[in-house]
Amino acid sequence: MHVPEQPPAPGVELAVSGAVALPGEGDTAQRLALGFLLSHHGNTRAAYTRDLAAYGVWCAGVGLDVLAARRVHVDAYVEHLVREGAAASTVVRRLSAVSGFYAYAVDEGALDRNPAARVRRPKVGENVQSTGLSKDEAGRLLAAAEEHSPRAAVVANLLLFCGLRVSELCNAQVTDLGWERGHRVLTVTRKGGKRQRMVVPPRAGELIDAYLADRTDGPLVATATGRPLDRQAVWRLLRSLATTAVPHLAATLHPHDLRHACATLALDAGASLRDVQDLLGHADSRTTRRYDRARHNLDRSPTYALAGLID
């Protein structure tokens, strides 16, 4: 199908940062990728940029023109991801980016059909396998964070008590802090660009004030040079804290585990499922219910009853 060459809309290259190399004749694939990414925002755009870049690397490796791909090629890409050990959720997300790109190409008249439209998505388990941290583990981690540094204390408290995604923490600004009806609040940018006010518990607020001192602008959590702390730095910090606080989790602790703990411990404390859903910013209550089911999985194990019977 012939696609007339047209220059990209003014400002597109400036609006979308990060190059995506998609193999093919001319620059049609690149222009389509820019347009597709421009239709998304924030974290979704960043994730889709990485996912399309990964797809482009695979296509180049097998000598495939992206706009000549058929369903069998996308099926082969999924098989490649599975063989490489990608989690089902990762495969689903990458396939969503690829399918979205091709759907955009169809809308723009560059393709007759979307080769990824009917590719089977792997099933992502309904149950959350990890409940994050127990009450005692969470307490030890918070204590270790306060002993480590003021910045570590802020990171651990906001991830645990506000259930923030690591990207929400890293993108937060000092000016996002405020007060509302006597509550200390932090306004964060959630998925899809939605802004949400989060209540900051008193102790966490004290730690934030001590950390910021007189600083009134810039990233809420910053490096020594004043740049925003990135997700890799948060990951390393938590692993470091885990070596003393929860050594059995030192090799596996992930920032999202604190978000899981926020949900499960809040439910244990008597919070309603709907309030926890609002706290975490879940659009679908079924996502929150996964945490609710997961927190009881181990407690209800028949292994305990069997061991008690034999003992």
User: Is 197 considered catalytic here?
Assistant: no
* Buried/exposed code over 153-179 (b: 16+ C-beta within 10 A; e: otherwise): bbbbbbbbbbbbbbbbbbbbbeebbee
pLDDT at position 13, please?
46
Question: Which stretches of the chain drop beneath a pLDDT of 50?
Answer: 1-17, 126-129
Ordered DSSP codes for 101-136: HHHHHHHTTS-SS-TTTTPPPPPPPSS-S-----HH
What pLDDT sits at residue 311?
Answer: 56
Same structural domain, 294 and 147:
yes
Q: Is 259 a catalytic residue?
A: yes
CA distance 200 to 160: 11
Spatial separation of the C-alpha atoms in residues 129 and 177, rounded to whole Å:
33
- Structural domains counted in the chain: 2
Question: Based on the domain organization, do 149 and 74 belong to the same domain?
Answer: no
| Residue 239 and residue 285 in one domain | yes
Active-site annotation holds for 296: no
| Cα–Cα distance measured from residue 150 to residue 165, given in angstroms and rounded to the nearest whole number | 20
Please check whether residues 179 and 280 belong to one and the same domain: yes
Q: Give yes or no: 123 in active site.
A: no
Give the HSE-up count for residue 21: Cα atoms under 13 Å, Cβ half-sphere: 5
Quick check: is 309 in a domain? Answer: no
Segment 270-284, tens digit of pLDDT: 888 888 888 887 766
Catalytic residue among 151, 165, 184, 260: 165
**Catalytic pick from 104, 151, 291, 295?**
291
Is 73 an annotated catalytic residue? no
pLDDT at residue 22 in the model: 85
Res 122: pLDDT:
80
| E strand or H helix at 265 | helix 255-268
Structural domain includes residue 200:
yes
Beta strands in 163-277 (DSSP E): 177-180, 183-189, 195-199
Nearest to 168 by CA among 269, 67, 43, 70: 43
Rounded-to-integer distance, Cα 283 and Cα 46, Å: 20
Q: Among residues 121, 148, 183, 191, which one is catalytic?
A: 191
307: in domain: no
Q: Which of 107, 193, 213, 203 is nearest to 160 (CA)?
A: 203
Same domain? 103 vs 151: no
CA-CA distance, 223 to 96, in Å (whole number)? 34
Indicate whether 129 belongs to any domain: no
What is residue 9's predicted lDDT score, i.e. its pLDDT?
47
Q: What is the pLDDT of residue 5?
A: 46
What pLDDT sits at residue 302? 59
Q: Which of 50, 121, 140, 256 is catalytic?
A: 256
**Known active-site residue 191:** yes
Taking the model in full, what pTM does it have? 0.62
269-to-6, 180, 261 alpha-carbon distances in Å: 59, 24, 12
Within 10 angstroms of residue 101's Cβ, the number of other Cβ atoms is: 24
User: Which of 40, 259, 260, 295 is flagged as catalytic?
Assistant: 259
Tell me: do 229 and 287 sit in the same domain: yes
Residue 168: which CATH number? 1.10.443.10
Residue type, 156: A
The values of phi and psi at residue 240, to 5°, are -65, -45
Paired sense of beta strands 183-189 and 177-180, if any = antiparallel
Task: Give residue 148's domain range.
Answer: 135-298
